[in-house]
Amino acid sequence: MVIDIGRLLAGDVRYTEAEIQAVRDAMDPTALLKVIIESAALPDDLIVHACEAAESAGAQYVKTSTGFHPAGGASVAAVTLMRATVGDRLGVKASGGIRDYATAMTMIDAGASRLGVSATEAILRGAQ
C-alpha cells in the first residue's frame, strides 16, 4: 500500500496509522503488508512517524518509494533512518533509482533487506 503522504505532510500522523491498520485488517492475516512511504517527499521526522505507524499497525515491511514520485526514490539517508527506526522487527525495501551494482550495494549496506529494481541485468553485470 502507499500511504496518503498529503495527510502525513499535513501532520495527521494518527490518520496514517489508522489507514495502514484499515488495510491490515482487510487483508488475509497471512499476507505480507509493505507500506510505501515516499521517503523522498518526507522530512526525517515524518519518515520516522510513517515507519512507527507501519510497525504499530502490523506491517512487515516499509518501502522507500513507488519509484514514480517526482521527489525521487530511495536514498541512503532514508534507508538508514528507516532501518534505525524499525530495527530488525520489519524489513526495509529500497526502491526507486537503483540502477547499478554500486547503488544496490550501498542500499544494502545502509540497511535495506530488499531492493525494488527495474535494472536487474545492469546490476548483475556490475557484480561480475
Query: Taking the domains of the chain in order of start, what are their residue ranges?
Result: 5-126
pLDDT single digits (tens) 47-89: 999 999 999 999 999 999 988 888 889 999 999 999 999 999 9
Query: CB-based contacts of 73: which residues, under 8 Å, 6+ apart?
Result: 40, 64, 65, 67, 95, 96, 97, 98
pLDDT single digits (tens) 23-54: 999 999 999 999 999 999 999 999 999 999 99
In the CATH scheme, what is the code of domain 5-126?
3.20.20.70
The one-letter code for the residue type at 94 is A
